[in-house]
Structure formats: structure tokens, C-alpha cells
Structure 1
Amino acid sequence: MGADAAIAALSALAQGTRLDAFRLLVRHEPDGLAAGQIARDLGVPQNTMSAHLAILARAGLVRPDRRSRSIIYRADLDGLRALMLFLVKDCCAGNAELCAPLVAELGSCA
């Protein structure tokens, strides 16, 4: 991931509703959620949520998947992984022992 893509992803997440939607979709992996369900869960009008989801999709953080008459949104974990790697690529100037607490914290999420 380059700097421009990272800036787009971080900008997309720098808004409360979009951050909440992305975190909700991460919790619902791998099944995803319909756009209407995301809107209901977050108490946001459906047309507003559609705009937020489009921004997240353009930033490479969510993927829409048409299933019959519904669009199911899923968190794009590859996009998230690329963003996280971009952010920590040069962690602690290459001193792995300094990054150990971060790696351990991430490992405890599994």
C-alpha cells in the first residue's frame, strides 16, 4: 500500500459513522451484513449509510456483494491488513523487541 491509498483509508475511517460501520462489519466477518441492517444497527438513515459504505468501498476497506435483491457488505480484511502493515512497516526502526508488545496485543485478539 502506498501513501495515497493509506491516506484515503484513514480519511474514510476518520468519520464516526464510517468507523462504526467498519468495526461492525469486522465483527460480522465472514458473513457480512446487508446495507439496511447496518443502517438499522447504527441508527442511520439508509441513504446516508449507502453513501458512507461507498466511501469505505472506494478506500478499499469494504466490499459489496450482490445477493439476490440485497447488497451484502463485508470488511475487506486484505485492505485492513495492507493499511496496518503500512502503518507499522518501519516500527521501532527495525528493533523487533520494541514491537513485541504490539505484536503480542494483536495476537491476543485471535
Structure 2
Amino acid sequence: MAKSPIDLIPFFWNYGIMKTETALEVLGALSHESRLAAFRRLVQAGPEGMSVGELREHLDLPPATLTAHLNILRAAALVNDQREGRVIRVRANYLQMNELLGYLTENCCEGKVSCVPATPCVPRKTGASR
């Protein structure tokens, strides 16, 4: 594939922390209805996350299907998991989510002060009031 003149500018396709190819991978991982639903449910669950079994029940997916979707979300660094005895607990990776939001909103409104994108998500602890 021939390079365009823009490709000759160092780091043109690298915005802030997240590179364009990483953003494409993350967006691709979220581009399926079940994966998006799983990720959104984990974001809602907060920093404690939820067991794979709880997530499967919430989404009403067969175990093998959920496993395949979680593998894609893991590969995009959108979720982390941890074994707790016989249970695997899955958590949203808020850092990766916030980097994607930063990538998408970088230079929003050409830097005008009147246009300020939302602040990064900071998960609340369980039971915290709004």
C-alpha cells in the first residue's frame, strides 16, 4: 500500500496515550452487541466486578459464547479477570476505557473552552451514594 504524505509525519496517527491501531482494536471489540452489553454491565458493577457466572446469567448467554466474547475483550485490554478459588471474577479496565474516551475526544471542538468533554470515569465503591 502506497504511503500518503501524511504518513511521513512522525506520530501523526498516534494521538495522546492511545495509538490509532489500539483504538481500532478496542472499538472492534466493542462492536458486537453481546460484548458491548458485557462491558457495560461490568462498568456498572464497579471496581469489584462480577463473577463470570453472574455475568453469564445477566446476559443469558451460553458459557462457551461468553468465554469467546470475554477473550476478545481481554485481548483489547477492556477487561481483567482474577481467579478467586473456583470463581473467576471479571472487572472492567477503566484505564483502557478512559484512554479510548480521551482518544475520541482529543482536540474536541478545536480546543474551545466552551466545549469540555466529560471527565474520565472513576468507579465508585459499592454502596457509595450519588
**Given the two structures, how large is their TM-score scaled by the length of structure 1?**
0.88
CA RMSD of aligned residues (A): 1.6
Structure 2, unaligned runs of 5 or more: 1-17, 122-129
- Segment of structure 1 superposing worse, 61-70 or 10-19: 61-70
Q: Determine the structure 1 residue equivalent to 2:113.
A: 96
Whether 2:19 is the aligned partner of 1:7: answer: no
The 5-angstrom pairing of residues 75-90 of structure 1 reads 75-90=92-107
Letter of the 2:96 partner, please give it. G
Structure 1, unaligned runs of 5 or more: none
Pick aligned residue for 2:41 from 13, 24, 35: 24
The structure with the largest alpha-carbon Rg is: 2
Q: Deviations over 1:22-54 (max 9, x none)?
A: 000001111111112111111100111011011
For 1:96 and 1:78, how far apart are their aligned partners in 2? Answer: 25
Report the number of matched residues.
104
Identity across matched positions, percent: 36
Q: Which structure's residues are more often helix, by fraction?
A: 1
Structure 1 runs of 4+ aligned residues shifted over 4 Å read none
